């Protein structure tokens, strides 16, 4: 039996705890830490008071190309790429810090976070294989796009929003309340 360092195990537990608090699924925890499945299950139950959700992780790369998820995913990946380029953060630590900054930015903008930690982790797995970042030919921002698409004249969803963008019931209700408050 191999002796484990108490410090290393403590760091792994701290990493798993941060991931669980941010909403990571069990599969993410198993990949990003060296803790046993049983240990992760116990830790998850202790922190959340319930068993982790069951089922497969989201696998469709197309989800990241839908209008709102694309904007949120692109924001997250820009934060992630900046941190990796300008700090010593790598791996799960870069994921956690980037996701926390994404949540802060979304909160400051009074938006609902669309990207979950598990989807952010999945996005990082898809980059380079199925997805890539491309520059918008209008605004110059970097956005997620399919790797096999011809993206030389790419226009992002912010410069060319879809016709039904922003017409949800919640936004219509908020707009109505704003109008009533102004009267």
Give the pair of three-digit tokens for residue 79. 């934060």
Is 139 annotated as a binding-site member? yes
- Percent of the chain topping pLDDT 90: 67
- pLDDT-based confidence at residue 149 (cuts at 50, 70, 90): confident
Is 109 annotated as a binding-site member? no
Q: What is the mean pLDDT of residues 137-156?
A: 90
Rounded distance, CA 106 to CA 18, Å?
A: 19
Rounded distance, CA 103 to CA 113, Å?
A: 7
- pLDDT-based confidence at residue 54 (cuts at 50, 70, 90): confident
Question: pTM for the complete prediction?
Answer: 0.84
Is 159 annotated as a binding-site member? yes
- pLDDT-based confidence at residue 77 (cuts at 50, 70, 90): very high
Q: How far is CA 67 from CA 76, 141, 180, in A?
A: 15, 15, 29
């Amino acid at each position: 039996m191999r002796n484990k360092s108490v410090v290393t195990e403590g760091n792994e537990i701290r990493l798993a705890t941060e991931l669980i608090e941010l909403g990571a699924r069990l599969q993410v925890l198993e990949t990003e830490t060296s803790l046993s499945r049983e240990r992760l299950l116990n830790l998850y139950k202790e922190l959340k008071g319930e068993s982790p959700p069951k089922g497969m992780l989201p696998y469709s790369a197309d989800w990241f190309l839908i209008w709102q998820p694309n904007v949120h995913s692109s924001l997250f990946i820009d934060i992630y790429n900046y941190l990796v380029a300008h700090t010593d953060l790598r791996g799960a630590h870069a994921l956690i810090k980037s996701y926390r900054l994404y949540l802060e930015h979304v909160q400051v903008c009074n938006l609902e976070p669309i990207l979950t930690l598990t989807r952010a982790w999945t996005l990082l797995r898809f980059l380079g294989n199925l997805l890539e970042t491309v520059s918008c030919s209008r605004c110059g921002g970097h956005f997620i796009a399919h790797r096999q698409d011809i993206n030389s004249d790419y226009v992002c969803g912010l410069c060319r929003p879809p016709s039904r963008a922003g017409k949800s019931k919640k936004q219509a209700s908020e707009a109505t309340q704003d109008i009533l408050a102004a009267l």
